[in-house]
Structure 1
Amino acid sequence: MLGTTLPTPLYGLYRERIGFSELIVTVVFAVYAVGVITALLAAGDFSDVLGRRPVLLCALALAALSAVCFLCEGGLPLLYTGRVLSGFSAGLLSGTGTAAVLELAPPGRHARAGLAATAANMGGLGLGPLLSGALAAYAPWPLRLPFLVHLVLLAAAAAVVGRLPETVRRAVPRPPLRPQGMTVPPEVRGVFAPCALAAFAGFALLGLFTAVAPAFLGETLGERNLAAVGAVVFSVFCASTCGQLLLGRVGTRRALPLGALVLVGGLLLVGAALLLESLPVLLLGAVTGGLGQGLAFRAGLTAVGSTAPDTHRGATISAFFVVAYVGISVPVVGVGALAAALGVRAAGMIFAGCAALFVAAVGAALWRRPPASS
């Protein structure tokens, strides 16, 4: 997951070298999300048939190919290709990795396993811009060294995955592999809908910081240090991981509406930061919004994963991530289009206001009718 956000602080350097607008930056980011959604819809249940380990190894191989595309960067086509491959990798990894961690957990430790899976997901997404921003600011080869480091980390991850026990019993004869689309078993749908809406709202905030944070910081707040840009994006995902830690104290039923409420506060602070042109307020908004997103995301993923039947757990979790990644991509492209017409600052404030209204509506619905505990 670290590799999927490595390019975030580097988009400004790519813009200088290749020459493209802020709208193209959001399209490059959205292409990644399209890759994620395609992989989830086409192969979200493949690990239920083939086993977790082969699919995880395939995801790591796709991530390595993505890094090679960035190392050979020669224009927008390779950037698009690298982002699509990164999306395929994340799409295979998100549902399969979460299911594998839950299944490898000993009895009575599923809650901690859910935390490990979501913390690895969010922690990796946060470490990507922190690592590449620091390397780009203080080390040579700013557009290559981050991806060389990523290849080394992928090799280590592949060595670990190769030694994992397989948790799926393969059926004989093996069922045919077909694109599954959105598969949500009937017994899970009552829990799935509110959890997925909360995930959509939270991932919209993550998409805002991941795709357009460098432009916000550089053009609106005058901050052009790439290490600082990476640190701001990292703060969102770090806060998300911290928010996930609160689930045990809050409980799943209350965590979803409470997380949405905190997320609304974060979005309002982001809008205020752009209005006031204040970096401290932006950091406060990032941390607040990240806490709310993490609390709601882990509660939703835990409820969906534990309610899904064993034979469809991978597919159900993949469907959950499809909704989340629609949230991380579609609103961000809208911000890019608005930025081209109105400027980055106005686009950010409009996004923050609209997103806050949407999250408030979702939170109110969850407060009135929280999902049943699994």
Structure 2
Amino acid sequence: MDQRFGRGAAFGLLVVVTVLLMASTSAPSPIYPLYLRRWGFSVTMLTVVFAVYVAGLVAALLTAGSLSDHLGRRPVLAGSLLVAAAGTAVFWTAGGVGSLVLARVVQGLATGTATGALAAGLVELSPADRPHRGPMATAVGTSFGLAAGGGVTGVLGQAGPRPDAVVFPVLTGAFVVLAALVLVIPETVVRRAVTPAALRPRIRVSRETRPEFFAAVPAIVAGWSVTGLFLALAPSLVRDVLHVRFAAAGGLFIAVLFLANSAGGLWAARHPARVATLRGAALLTLGAAVLAAALVFGAPAAFLGGSIIAGLGVGLTFTGTLRGISGATTARTRSEVFSAAYVVSYAALSLPSLAAGLAAPSWGLETTSYVYLAFVGVLSLSAALHASRRTTSGKELPCEPSPSRTAPPVSADSP
């Protein structure tokens, strides 16, 4: 197929792919209460449905996360998008909880395979004089997509009894179209042979990237744990603890968190990476406290405020940490390192929320949420203190990648 897209158009297309992939992962969340009533399963089973998505995603990251470093970005993304279409098609035709589990596993495999290629491709297609645009687009596109999926589906749930009959057919068709379009973007990687060792499950971070990578872990875990709380339990919390009966409320609170997340990502672009991470961790600490207070006093307005504060914190920390990690990578290992970062992210997204789902029948949803938010608050405070020490001690890589790391690679399509 002849190449038709320039680098700028290709960058925009990868942003659209990121947004829609993330939208498809949050779209089921506002529908979960409808599924609970439709098929009569428990809140614990609900968090299992949420967690199996992450299990499939992490499995793909561990095995296929670096595949695009070998095969190229285009074929890996096209295949991933077709698998994503299969996942939304299963949701579209779901007839019970077994279908939900299957759909979430397929979604996880698709997203996990695409994640490293998307993040690396956005870095490599960024303008040479604006290397921070790739990590920023990854972070903002991720959060905006999560906001769009939750918000749009929540509104559809208010408008009618079957939002799943609208949103999943649209996503299925969109993924098929995008799979064809990514085949005509510039290829940024020279193809290498894929050996069995390349697909062996592993998490690998190159030696030169490790200091920056491990410094980012506390902030990543804190931010994605908040994300997991909202995606898995926010609709139930809004309905059963805050007693908001507006059907779209759960999805709208998810949308608010991720819109604030997007704003935080854009805000982070105005600061050095270390400053963005520090401010984000401080806001996450405050946001967790406000969310807990909102549940104590049954105050939906305070919960809304806490969602905004926490969302800003997630956007700042995620963008700041991605920029720091990006600055310590090279094109040869970039998708592998980003895949490792997402393994940490999605483990933080799923494991605390799964633990909350298992604890909720014994402790109650409200008490479980207090413990969850205390965990996030302590971790966020730890991340803020750690970021503060790194800032004052000067143990920080440059906030932007060096020219030798970020100069656009020679396209594999070039003569």
- Equivalent residue for 1:345? 366
Q: Name which of 22, 27, 30 aligns with 1:6.
A: 27
The one-character-per-residue Cα deviations of 1:38-86 (angstroms, maximum 9, x if unpaired) are 1111111000001001111111111111111112212221111100111
User: How big is the shift at 1:90?
Assistant: 1.4
The one-character-per-residue Cα deviations of 1:331-351 (angstroms, maximum 9, x if unpaired) are 101211222112211111121
2:51 and 2:354 in contact (8 A); partners too: yes
Q: Name which of 381, 400, 411 aligns with 1:360.
A: 381
User: How big is the shift at 1:140?
Assistant: 5.8
TM alignment of 1:178-217, pairs within 5 A: 178-217=199-238
User: Are 2:338 and 1:329 aligned?
Assistant: no
User: How big is the shift at 1:278?
Assistant: 0.7
User: Are 2:113 and 1:100 aligned?
Assistant: no
- Equivalent residue for 1:25? 46
Q: If the length of structure 1 is used for normalisation, what is the TM-score?
A: 0.96
2:284 and 2:313 in contact (8 A); partners too: yes
- Equivalent residue for 2:136? 115
TM alignment of 1:1-374, pairs within 5 A: 1-139=22-160, 141-171=162-192, 175-176=195-196, 177-370=198-391, 371-373=396-398, 374=401
2:136 and 2:269 in contact (8 A); partners too: no
Using the TM superposition, name which of 261-270 and 101-110 deviates more: 101-110
1:49 and 1:175 in contact (8 A); partners too: no
3-state SS of 2:386 partner: helix
- What is the rounded CA distance, in whole Å, between the counterparts of 2:341 and 2:260 in structure 1? 21
2:78 and 2:180 in contact (8 A); partners too: no
Cα root mean square deviation, aligned: 1.5
Count of matched residue pairs: 373
- What is the rounded CA distance, in whole Å, between the counterparts of 2:118 and 2:355 in structure 1? 30
The unaligned stretches of length 5 or more in structure 1 are: none
- What is the rounded CA distance, in whole Å, between the counterparts of 2:134 and 2:95 in structure 1? 41
- What is the rounded CA distance, in whole Å, between the counterparts of 2:353 and 2:161 in structure 1? 31
Using the TM superposition, name which of 151-160 and 218-227 deviates more: 151-160
Q: If the length of structure 2 is used for normalisation, what is the TM-score?
A: 0.87
3-state SS of 1:70 partner: helix
User: How big is the shift at 1:29?
Assistant: 0.6
User: Residue 316 of structure 1 aligns to which amino acid in structure 2?
Assistant: V
- What is the rounded CA distance, in whole Å, between the counterparts of 1:351 and 1:228 in structure 2? 21
User: Residue 298 of structure 2 aligns to which amino acid in structure 1?
Assistant: E
User: Residue 291 of structure 2 aligns to which amino acid in structure 1?
Assistant: V
1:5 and 1:129 in contact (8 A); partners too: yes
